[in-house]
Amino acid sequence: MRYRITAASALVAAAALVLAGCAGTSATATSDTSSAETVEVGAVLQARGDVDPWSSTWAASLGAVAAEDPTVKITTSYEAADPTAAEPVIRQLLDAGSQVVLMPTFILGDVAATIAAEYPDVPMLVTGVAAPQAPNLWAAAPSFLEMGYATCWALTSLSDDGRIGVVKAVDDPVQSEIQVGCDLGAKAANPDASITTVNSNSYTDQQANREQTQRLLDDGIDEIYFISGSEDSLGGFAVCAQEDARCASYGDTQQWLPTGGVEVITMDWSGIITTLIEQAEAGAPAADFFNATLENGGLVASLSGNGVTDELVAEFDAMIAQLADGTIELPDSVAHPGYR
């Protein structure tokens, strides 16, 4: 199913991508291109943006690019949760003429490396802990330390007793590094802060996440951070909404928590997407690592939501400025050595 994006709003564009995805496993978003040559972009997401916070950041960024550039045609599939299912879909996108291929998921590193080697003229990108691969495969990831620091600083500042909860999906390198940042941010907000961490043990099991979130709430912990940003988080969000707890993840969490959510940080991938499109247009693919940070605008911090006051926003903005310019020092990244 094809949707024509005519609104200038990134939000409207992203919504079109999500809406199209409801009709099947793949969707196409395009703009009216009467004279300019179209650039075909294929994106394989792990889930629709309305059921997965991580994917919501990519859906919004893809929508923003399509709304900004009328020559961009984006075809989106939601098969990236399984490498076996994702690989033939990626090959279909390439066979159909995709000039840029995006694989924004954490489990397609091997698949991406294999396919990129077979299509060296096509700029590609994969996210997670994978490394770039010359001549055409980019790797990308946000600063997990900055994400954790900012979010847990905010939640701890909102907590009456300095206690916050963290819900992980699993103990993987990414979530472990976010937790390191979280610990630092919480202690910066309140030296006596206490963090209780639980695991749903699944990226998709909403019921397991719901039960772990309820456990935190039963212990009197009302500020909760869903580190994974994966589909399982929606189970916890449902409990937060019922209990009017202050809960955060990343992306547009208020679409799931219109009253209890706390917006802290999201990712803007539009810059790196545009870079790959420009490489495709120039016929000059490259391979590098994009580290989305507060400094380069790949991470965007803005505090709002349940219990947030103007005074706290001012304190938060001052902290973010120091985090962005390096005044607040963070340890070296283990997930991505040499980067923030």
- pTM (predicted TM-score): 0.88
What's the rounded Cα separation, in Å, for the pair 79 and 47? 7
Quick check: 60 pLDDT over 80? yes
229 closest CA partner among 175, 181, 273: 175
Q: What is the mean pLDDT of residues 240-256?
A: 88
**pLDDT value at residue 12:** 33
| 106 vs 64, higher pLDDT | 64
Residues 181-229 have pLDDT tens digits of 999 999 999 999 999 999 998 888 999 999 999 999 999 999 999 998 8
Query: In sequence order, which residues have a C-beta less than 8 Å from that of residue 92 and are 6 or more positions away?
Result: none
**pLDDT value at residue 258:** 81
The topology under which CATH files domain 144-266+309-325 is Rossmann fold (3.40.50)
**pLDDT value at residue 256:** 87
Instruction: Report the top-level CATH class of 2-142+268-292.
Output: alpha beta
Quick check: 282 pLDDT over 90? yes
The band of 36, judged by pLDDT with boundaries at 50, 70 and 90, is low
For the chain, which residues make up each domain, given as ranges?
Answer: 2-142+268-292, 144-266+309-325
Is there a common fold for 2-142+268-292 and 144-266+309-325? Answer: yes
